[in-house]
Amino acid sequence: MKTIKNSLTCMAVLLMLFYSETVLAQSTQTPKYMTSTTLSWNQDKTNIDMDEWKAIEQEYLEKVIKKNEYILASSFYKPQLSGSSGELILVRVYGSWMAIEKAAQRNLELEKAAWGNEQKLKEFKKKQRSFYSHDHSDEIYSVLPIMKEIKDWSHDMVCYVRTQYLTFPEDGKTEEVIGVLQDDFDKMVKDNNLIKGFFTYRHAWGANGSELKNAYFLSSISDLDKMFQNLRELEKNVWQSDAALEKHQEMVRKYFVGTHTDNVYTFVSGLSK
């Protein structure tokens, strides 16, 4: 019962963090939700021509996704040091929960307008689907307003995703959780030139609500290695004293369990909105 209570409290804390910092931006196109669809390559297709696949998805991107006002962002990711090489992840970002539903209907309208007649559209969709198996999985996440936006999406990047698990003690305080997350971002991420982009998100539907994910975008694997190698030195520099660093780490231990998971993906350039 205590575990369930803590998990529910974690979800409430993150919701408070999310909505309190975005309440003034409700009328703008602020990222609020993210869908992640894990696709599987069609293993029955003898030779998958990646250039042909990319051309097909680029055509759909230009004719449909970029014209869909309900989709704020869209991108593809290939597993690099995790998951299965037979998978592909499609991520899309929305400004509201309602926009997720509206985007699907808008896609259908844009498809009809782009291909002119039903037969041409059927031929295109058949070719597009031929790259994937029928199996896929979907997740929906809330996007938190702790982010470093990427300035240049024109080249492939490494996307390192770290999953942590929140807990909430009886003497826990919402402002302390917010402080830990913001302190880490301000001191370790915001001005770190190796990190080209950073996003924080949590499950909004169908999974463990205590999960908190951080996505780091870097230019290369070597930059990811440098980020890890410089971690301890950077911590000492930004917190300036052992006492200040220990105080911060004490807060981390208070609100996060000691385990985490790591995944590394390749962001596929040329297929993003």
Query: Closest Cα partner for 250 from 176, 148, 196?
Result: 176
Give the residue numbers spanning the domain of 214.
Answer: 2-267
* 7 domain residue, yes or no: yes
Any domain includes 272? no
Judged against a pLDDT cut of 70, whether residue 64 lies above it is answered with yes
φ, ψ at 226 (rounded to 5°): -60, -40
Q: 98-115 pLDDT, tens per residue?
A: 999 999 999 999 999 999
Residue 79 lies in a domain: yes
pTM (two decimals)? 0.86
Of the CA atoms within 13 Å of residue 5, those in its CB half-sphere come to 5
Average pLDDT, the chain: 87
| Residues 238, 188 contacting (CB under 8 angstroms) | yes
> Which of 103, 65, 130 minimizes the C-alpha distance to 270?
65
Answer whether residue 60 is part of any domain. yes
Q: What integer pLDDT is reported at residue 237 of this predicted model?
A: 86
Cβ(145)–Cβ(158) under 8 Å? no
Q: Do the bridges between strand 87-94 and strand 33-41 make them parallel or antiparallel, or are there none, so unpaired?
A: antiparallel
Beta strands in 30-186 (DSSP E): 33-41, 73-79, 87-94, 132-148, 157-166
pLDDT of 20 reads 41
CATH number at residue 68: 3.30.70.100
As a whole-number percent, the residues of the chain with pLDDT over 90 amount to 61
**Can you tell me the distance from the alpha carbon of 91 to that of 78, in angstroms, rounded to the nearest whole number?**
11
CA atoms within 13 A on the CB side of 160: 19
* Per-residue pLDDT at 185 exceeds 50: yes
